[in-house]
Structure 1
Amino acid sequence: MNDIPATASVLDTVEQETGPSPQWAVLWLHGLGADGHDFAPLVPELVRPGWPALRFVFPHAPVRAVTINNGVRMRAWYDIVGMDFPTRADSAGIGESIVQVEALIAREQARGIAPERLLLAGFSQGGAIALAAGLRRQVPLAGLIALSTYLPGADKAAAHLAQDATRQPVFMAHGTGDPVIPLAYAEQSAQALKGLGFDVQWQRYPMAHQVCAEEIRDLGDWMDRRFAL
């Protein structure tokens, strides 16, 4: 993408470690208007006995004006310019956020956690960035987690697909009554990823734009399999 800058400063983050000298990391991106503290309370609900020591990294998105919210400034991974899903996401903002995610992945590698032991997760707008970044990864990560979200530009995803990106398994989940991101768009994104060759575990739950206990259980099962490899 020509609108992706070459470098980025490392974002401020909230971090939790589940044990000493973690050899795995989970980089988790929050949704629009939230911050890195939003999903930190989920850690004790998700983590299971017997898992390796993990470092959870929850970055704060930059503050920017969001067009769809009357230009109000808030933490956002990209601008949302309208209601039409195929064209709503600001491509330049997505590109900037991908570079910022890559900087965080590089920092984890410098701290001793290789990409194949890092899971990239995100909720809503953060999940869109997780999928967009994963699509472009030259060195595959341990997996991608996309909750209540969709893949921006899913119809053109093949043009951005890195050679080995499909080696990354995907956990994708959505609420059947989501009023923010309609289920159909999430399903279309999951099908697009499967069509490209990704191993996608697709889950639906009777909920709105949120997470639920069943979802966390299923995500934990999926992560179990990643750690067992």
Structure 2
Amino acid sequence: MTDRRVVIAGGHGKIAQHLIEVLTARGDRAVALIRNPDHISAVTALGALPEVIDMETASVDDVAALMHDADAAVFAAGAGPSGGIERKDTVDRGAAVLLADAAEKAGVKRFVQISSFGAGEPVPDDAGDTWKAYIEAKTAAEEDLKRRSHLEWTILRPGGLTDDDPTGHIALSAPPLERGTVPRADVAAVIAALLQSPSTAGKTLMLTSGETRIEDAIEAV
């Protein structure tokens, strides 16, 4: 039982829902920032405290007010495949920057940001416009976070996401890492473990399924 308060942006997303379950099971208190009030009952049933806020229009003060007494923040939001090019910037970059700004204002130091394979790398010439916008947004969000000296940040770049059952075994390393997939439930378990691993602050980590137990993989990095 750890009894830590963790604020999750994108609190109704698939990874976030798995994360809420993991955090709740170990005695932490998850605060789910959600845009749609229709999702209140879903995140509450998982054990989270719901807070309705639109990260595309909210101010830093609005978000910081919801982060009082928090021990950590997780950026798990995303515009999604149907979000359009413009929302790749306003959500995948803009909302990430907003959460980091709010964390600094609220004095929340531990910060885990979900990014993606491909971020921080040149976008292939044959990439579609939507993928290009997505990677550019994720890269910009990473670059913003890396400039912040007041946050103990970790950037996690998972490979292709699946809804397969968790395996508890992963490949985790600093870039580069061979491309692969990973169940969302395992991504959530890694995030939960990272929150308890302050030695991973300041690191950018690539994640796929693999042969190493999550705890051992995190200890190794």
* TM-score normalised according to structure 1 size: 0.45
* TM-score normalised according to structure 2 size: 0.46
